[in-house]
Structure 1
Amino acid sequence: MARFAHTVTVAALDRGWFEEAAGALVDLLDASREGPGGSVVLADGRPVEGLRLLKGRHLRPGARYGEVPAEPEGTGEVPVEHAGAGAGDSPGAPQAVVLRTWRPSHSVEVESLVEEDGMSLKVGLRLSEPRRPRAVELSLSGHKPGGGSLYRFSGRGKADPAAWWAAVDRLPSAPPAARAPVSGRAVHRLAKARLTLTPRPAEDGSWRITVVLSMRGRWLLRPVGAVVLFFARGPVERGLREAAESAAEEWNTALAELTPLHGEALRAEIADALVNPDGATTF
């Protein structure tokens, strides 16, 4: 098994603000309704940008959301009920998201089928207690039609927000959490990989996050995988370092632009961002 690790420093996120923002977003969507032409409108009547009901009933299991493709001139308008039925069937078709569960006090689950670069990808996301996130679960599977088992892979990931907050609430001198609050696994016919993120507080109040990537070959290919990883160790280490540093930079930039609004001001700002993502100010 090969193990790679890198630690980055990022700005800390306020837990109270995060949970308040998550709750406000869920409440806004829960109060939304279907509008003209399949649009999704907030309680104040403004349509949510980029979100359109293509099939089914809004916020009911099986509802399909996405963007209706523009129709060629002279073909007439396609009914919204059927506009998303073929999403993903052709390379130029917009991809759709299917709502599997909408119970804001318990869980929300969505699924997306994506066709990209000749690969078929199925992505699932499940949030437990989304108003105050308790768990985030991600699943991913992919294959290339007609490509055989070498073109198949799968993965699962999970984040435990409570464990994350507990880890960053420790004293800076305390040892890191024994269990990583964020972890993921990927499986291919030839190899397995595991990724973990473990945070700890820094003296200045920021977070230091250690990213660990473990890789190994499967079955009889383990010796071959060990040889390959031996020669590829440098590029893999460099790739992990660059990816972690880039993600940390994006996180710090995003948090620096946030204005810590609360209450109705925060709710109004999130609503504006849903309606006009490009024109809304940061919140």
Structure 2
Amino acid sequence: MSRLRHTVTVVALDRDLLHTYAGLVCDLVESTRARGRDIVLPDGRALYGLSLVKGHHLAPGARYEPLGTDTEGLEATVIREWRRTGALAMEQLMWSPDLSTQLDVRLRTPERPVSLEIEGLLRGPEGSGSLRRLSGLATLDLAAWWAAAALVPGAPAVARAPAVARLKHRLGVAQLHLRPRPAEAGRWHVDVTLTLRGRWLLRPVAAFALLLAGMPLRRGFRSSVERAAEQWDEALGRVRAMDLDELRAELADYVVKGPEDETGEGRKTG
């Protein structure tokens, strides 16, 4: 077994501010409506790359697929539940001749987030065997996160990590744990731990491979954690720099234009 650890310091996200942002997103989602297969904002602009192909918009069973997809069923999103004061549950499906993935997402409660769970399964083509199969589960307990982040400075980190991700394959298991601690005003220390181990008879082989890759693996792990922390600070800084009206307009433009392409311009919807 190999265990990698690294601690970063990031800008803290206030719980009330998170609830404000979450409510804004819920308002935007619930302001949309179906127009034929298009999903449109109140001003009539259609959301980028989204088509309602089955059911009623935002109702259980509603199925969405990307616009302009030639191969039927290449990608789909199915709503299982949508209640802004209850839960959001959705299923994301993607498949190709070589690979298929399924993600089940559940958020309680969308308007005032309490917990998030994402369960996934990745499989190769039928008959490819268990070596082409990978499963995963990620959970975030926000109540536990806020409690850990509010501990007295210098107190030991919580034993149970509020954020956990686990990937399981026939050859091995990887687990990621995140534990916050208070830092200076407005910031968190986040302890990140990655555990890697082989399974069954492959444990000695995996241990030897991890030993050989030790230093590069640790450098890569630290670099990835620090890069993720920088991206978090940058994204949160951009959001905080906008007032709610600006943020609302920014979100509306994003869902209409789609992600930026390599030139920095929004995707074309025509």
**Quick check: TM above 0.5?**
yes
2:171 and 2:198 in contact (8 A); partners too: yes
Q: Does 1:214 align with 2:200?
A: no
Counterpart mapping for 1:237-276 below 5 A = 237-258=218-239, 259=241, 261-262=243-244, 267=248, 270-276=251-257
Relative to structure 1, the CA distance from residue 256 to residue 31 in structure 2 (aligned partners, 3 Å threshold; closer, same or farther) is closer
2:10 and 2:229 in contact (8 A); partners too: yes
Structure 1 residue 187: Cα displacement = 0.9
Secondary structure of 2:154's partner?
coil
Q: CA RMSD in A?
A: 2.4
Match of 2:39 in 1: 40
Structure 1 residue 137: Cα displacement = 0.3
- TM-score of the superposition, structure 1-length normalised? 0.82
Counterpart mapping for 1:83-94 below 5 A = 86-88=72-74
Match of 2:135 in 1: 154
1:54 and 1:68 in contact (8 A); partners too: no
CA distance in 2, matches of 1:115, 1:234: 36
Match of 2:57 in 1: 58
CA distance in 1, matches of 2:34, 2:141: 33
The percentage of aligned residue pairs carrying the same residue is 45
CA distance in 2, matches of 1:70, 1:139: 26
Amino acid at match of 2:243: L
- Count residues with an aligned counterpart: 259
1:30 and 1:104 in contact (8 A); partners too: no
Structure 1 residue 120: Cα displacement = 1.4
2:50 and 2:67 in contact (8 A); partners too: no
Amino acid at match of 1:224: V
Secondary structure of 2:152's partner?
coil
1:217 and 1:224 in contact (8 A); partners too: yes
Unmatched 5+ residue regions in structure 2?
A: none
Q: Does 1:226 align with 2:207?
A: yes
CA distance in 1, matches of 2:2, 2:96: 30
CA distance in 1, matches of 2:80, 2:169: 27
Secondary structure of 1:257's partner?
helix
Counterpart mapping for 1:1-283 below 5 A = 1-35=1-35, 37-69=36-68, 86-88=72-74, 95-115=75-95, 118-145=98-125, 146-258=127-239, 259=241, 261-262=243-244, 267=248, 270-276=251-257
Secondary structure of 2:24's partner?
helix
CA distance in 1, matches of 2:185, 2:82: 40
Secondary structure of 1:69's partner?
coil
CA distance in 1, matches of 2:78, 2:130: 27
Structure 1 residue 272: Cα displacement = 4.5
CA distance in 1, matches of 2:256, 2:134: 37
Secondary structure of 1:162's partner?
helix
